[in-house]
Amino acid sequence: MNAIVVIIATVIALAFDASFAGIFTLRSTGSITPQAIPCLVVFIALFAPETAALFVALALGILVDLSPGHGELGEGAHLIGPNALGFVVTTLLILRVRNIVFRRRILTIAFFTAGAVIVTAAVQAFVLITRGLMPWNPAVVGGGFGAFAKLFGTAIYTGLLAVPLGWYFLSTIGMWKFHSPTGRRATWR
Protein backbone atom coordinates (compact mmCIF):
# COMPACT_ATOMS: atom_id res chain seq x y z
CA MET A 1 0.00 0.00 0.00
CA ASN A 2 1.30 3.40 -0.96
CA ALA A 3 1.68 5.27 2.31
CA ILE A 4 2.11 8.67 0.67
CA VAL A 5 -1.21 8.36 -1.13
CA VAL A 6 -2.88 7.34 2.12
CA ILE A 7 -1.38 10.32 3.96
CA ILE A 8 -2.44 12.77 1.25
CA ALA A 9 -5.94 11.32 1.16
CA THR A 10 -6.12 11.50 4.96
CA VAL A 11 -5.10 15.15 5.06
CA ILE A 12 -7.62 16.03 2.36
CA ALA A 13 -10.40 14.04 4.04
CA LEU A 14 -9.72 15.56 7.47
CA ALA A 15 -9.65 19.05 6.00
CA PHE A 16 -12.87 18.29 4.13
CA ASP A 17 -14.63 17.14 7.27
CA ALA A 18 -13.45 20.17 9.25
CA SER A 19 -14.36 22.82 6.73
CA PHE A 20 -15.59 22.12 3.21
CA ALA A 21 -18.24 19.64 4.37
CA GLY A 22 -20.12 22.62 5.77
CA ILE A 23 -21.25 23.39 2.23
CA PHE A 24 -23.34 20.24 2.27
CA THR A 25 -24.75 20.76 5.78
CA LEU A 26 -28.52 20.45 5.93
CA ARG A 27 -29.15 23.32 8.31
CA SER A 28 -32.89 22.81 8.47
CA THR A 29 -32.57 19.20 9.62
CA GLY A 30 -30.27 19.52 12.61
CA SER A 31 -27.07 20.28 10.71
CA ILE A 32 -26.70 16.84 9.17
CA THR A 33 -23.34 16.79 7.42
CA PRO A 34 -21.66 14.10 5.32
CA GLN A 35 -18.22 12.84 6.29
CA ALA A 36 -15.34 11.88 4.06
CA ILE A 37 -13.26 9.93 6.54
CA PRO A 38 -15.67 6.93 6.77
CA CYS A 39 -15.50 6.62 2.97
CA LEU A 40 -11.72 6.45 3.19
CA VAL A 41 -11.85 3.90 6.01
CA VAL A 42 -14.25 1.69 4.06
CA PHE A 43 -12.22 1.92 0.87
CA ILE A 44 -9.02 0.95 2.64
CA ALA A 45 -10.79 -1.82 4.58
CA LEU A 46 -12.10 -3.26 1.32
CA PHE A 47 -8.82 -3.42 -0.52
CA ALA A 48 -5.81 -3.12 1.80
CA PRO A 49 -4.08 -6.06 3.50
CA GLU A 50 -5.78 -6.89 6.78
CA THR A 51 -3.18 -5.69 9.26
CA ALA A 52 -2.45 -2.57 7.28
CA ALA A 53 -6.14 -1.78 7.04
CA LEU A 54 -6.54 -2.12 10.80
CA PHE A 55 -3.53 0.05 11.52
CA VAL A 56 -4.70 2.72 9.11
CA ALA A 57 -8.20 2.62 10.61
CA LEU A 58 -6.75 3.06 14.09
CA ALA A 59 -4.58 5.95 12.95
CA LEU A 60 -7.43 7.63 11.10
CA GLY A 61 -9.65 7.30 14.15
CA ILE A 62 -7.02 8.86 16.39
CA LEU A 63 -6.66 11.74 13.94
CA VAL A 64 -10.42 12.26 13.92
CA ASP A 65 -10.48 12.16 17.72
CA LEU A 66 -7.86 14.92 17.70
CA SER A 67 -9.81 17.05 15.23
CA PRO A 68 -11.61 20.22 16.34
CA GLY A 69 -14.99 19.54 17.85
CA HIS A 70 -14.35 15.87 18.58
CA GLY A 71 -13.92 14.38 22.03
CA GLU A 72 -13.82 17.69 23.83
CA LEU A 73 -12.76 17.40 27.45
CA GLY A 74 -12.17 21.04 28.29
CA GLU A 75 -9.03 23.17 28.07
CA GLY A 76 -8.38 21.87 24.58
CA ALA A 77 -7.91 18.25 25.62
CA HIS A 78 -9.31 15.54 23.39
CA LEU A 79 -10.64 12.11 24.26
CA ILE A 80 -8.71 9.61 22.14
CA GLY A 81 -10.52 6.36 21.51
CA PRO A 82 -14.14 6.66 20.42
CA ASN A 83 -13.46 7.13 16.73
CA ALA A 84 -10.23 5.14 16.79
CA LEU A 85 -11.92 2.05 18.21
CA GLY A 86 -15.02 2.67 16.12
CA PHE A 87 -13.04 2.62 12.90
CA VAL A 88 -11.14 -0.49 14.00
CA VAL A 89 -14.38 -2.37 14.70
CA THR A 90 -15.83 -1.14 11.41
CA THR A 91 -12.74 -2.35 9.57
CA LEU A 92 -12.86 -5.72 11.34
CA LEU A 93 -16.46 -6.20 10.21
CA ILE A 94 -15.66 -5.24 6.63
CA LEU A 95 -12.64 -7.54 6.58
CA ARG A 96 -14.91 -10.45 7.51
CA VAL A 97 -17.28 -9.88 4.60
CA ARG A 98 -15.16 -8.27 1.92
CA ASN A 99 -14.46 -11.53 0.15
CA ILE A 100 -18.14 -12.19 -0.45
CA VAL A 101 -19.12 -8.80 -1.82
CA PHE A 102 -18.51 -7.03 -5.08
CA ARG A 103 -15.81 -4.75 -3.82
CA ARG A 104 -15.32 -2.77 -7.00
CA ARG A 105 -18.88 -1.57 -7.13
CA ILE A 106 -19.57 1.98 -6.05
CA LEU A 107 -22.80 0.88 -4.41
CA THR A 108 -20.85 -1.49 -2.18
CA ILE A 109 -18.68 1.34 -0.95
CA ALA A 110 -21.71 3.58 -0.44
CA PHE A 111 -23.60 0.91 1.49
CA PHE A 112 -20.62 0.04 3.67
CA THR A 113 -19.92 3.71 4.31
CA ALA A 114 -23.43 4.30 5.59
CA GLY A 115 -23.06 1.23 7.80
CA ALA A 116 -19.62 2.37 8.94
CA VAL A 117 -21.08 5.61 10.29
CA ILE A 118 -23.61 3.70 12.36
CA VAL A 119 -21.17 1.07 13.60
CA THR A 120 -18.61 3.72 14.51
CA ALA A 121 -21.25 5.69 16.40
CA ALA A 122 -22.33 2.56 18.25
CA VAL A 123 -18.76 1.88 19.32
CA GLN A 124 -18.38 5.53 20.30
CA ALA A 125 -21.45 5.27 22.49
CA PHE A 126 -20.11 2.06 24.05
CA VAL A 127 -16.74 3.63 24.77
CA LEU A 128 -18.31 6.76 26.26
CA ILE A 129 -20.69 4.75 28.42
CA THR A 130 -17.86 2.49 29.59
CA ARG A 131 -15.76 5.54 30.28
CA GLY A 132 -18.62 7.04 32.26
CA LEU A 133 -18.78 3.93 34.43
CA MET A 134 -15.29 4.59 35.70
CA PRO A 135 -15.51 6.18 39.15
CA TRP A 136 -13.10 8.95 38.19
CA ASN A 137 -15.08 10.05 35.14
CA PRO A 138 -18.41 11.90 35.01
CA ALA A 139 -21.36 9.90 33.71
CA VAL A 140 -22.12 10.37 30.04
CA VAL A 141 -25.26 12.29 29.11
CA GLY A 142 -27.05 12.90 25.83
CA GLY A 143 -28.42 10.68 23.10
CA GLY A 144 -32.13 10.08 22.67
CA PHE A 145 -34.28 9.67 19.60
CA GLY A 146 -33.22 13.01 18.14
CA ALA A 147 -29.57 12.06 18.21
CA PHE A 148 -30.37 8.66 16.71
CA ALA A 149 -32.38 10.22 13.89
CA LYS A 150 -29.54 12.62 13.20
CA LEU A 151 -27.07 9.73 13.16
CA PHE A 152 -29.26 7.83 10.73
CA GLY A 153 -29.50 10.89 8.50
CA THR A 154 -25.76 11.41 8.68
CA ALA A 155 -25.22 7.76 7.68
CA ILE A 156 -27.47 8.08 4.64
CA TYR A 157 -25.96 11.41 3.63
CA THR A 158 -22.42 10.07 4.05
CA GLY A 159 -23.42 7.04 1.97
CA LEU A 160 -24.57 9.41 -0.76
CA LEU A 161 -21.28 11.29 -0.56
CA ALA A 162 -19.51 7.94 -0.89
CA VAL A 163 -20.90 7.54 -4.40
CA PRO A 164 -18.71 10.23 -6.00
CA LEU A 165 -15.88 9.61 -3.53
CA GLY A 166 -16.03 5.87 -4.11
CA TRP A 167 -15.98 6.40 -7.85
CA TYR A 168 -12.90 8.59 -7.45
CA PHE A 169 -11.19 6.08 -5.16
CA LEU A 170 -11.91 3.20 -7.53
CA SER A 171 -10.71 5.14 -10.54
CA THR A 172 -7.40 5.82 -8.78
CA ILE A 173 -7.02 2.38 -7.24
CA GLY A 174 -3.80 1.75 -9.10
CA MET A 175 -2.10 4.56 -7.23
CA TRP A 176 -2.90 2.98 -3.88
CA LYS A 177 -0.94 -0.19 -4.73
CA PHE A 178 -3.12 -2.63 -2.82
CA HIS A 179 -1.21 -5.55 -4.27
CA SER A 180 -1.17 -8.87 -2.50
CA PRO A 181 2.20 -10.66 -2.30
CA THR A 182 1.01 -13.26 -4.74
CA GLY A 183 -0.39 -10.68 -7.07
CA ARG A 184 -3.72 -12.47 -7.38
CA ARG A 185 -5.77 -9.59 -8.66
CA ALA A 186 -8.41 -12.09 -9.68
CA THR A 187 -9.65 -12.05 -6.09
CA TRP A 188 -10.80 -8.47 -6.58
CA ARG A 189 -14.41 -8.42 -7.54
| Positions that interact with another protein (CB under 8 A) | 11-12, 14-23, 25, 27, 30-33, 49-52, 54-55, 58, 62-63, 66-70, 72-82, 84-85, 88, 127, 130-131, 134, 136-137, 142, 150, 154, 180-182
- Residue 82: other Cβ atoms inside 10 A: 22
| Nearest distance from C-beta of residue 40 to another protein, angstroms | 14
| Residue whose CB is less far from another protein, 70 or 106 | 70
| Nearest distance from C-beta of residue 144 to another protein, angstroms | 11
- Residue 81: other Cβ atoms inside 10 A: 18
| Residue whose CB is less far from another protein, 12 or 107 | 12
| Residue whose CB is less far from another protein, 106 or 140 | 140
| Nearest distance from C-beta of residue 68 to another protein, angstroms | 4
Ramachandran region, residue 30 (left: φ > 0; alpha: ψ -120 to 50; beta: rest): left
| Residue whose CB is less far from another protein, 107 or 143 | 143
| Nearest distance from C-beta of residue 84 to another protein, angstroms | 5
| Nearest distance from C-beta of residue 8 to another protein, angstroms | 10
| Residue whose CB is less far from another protein, 52 or 160 | 52
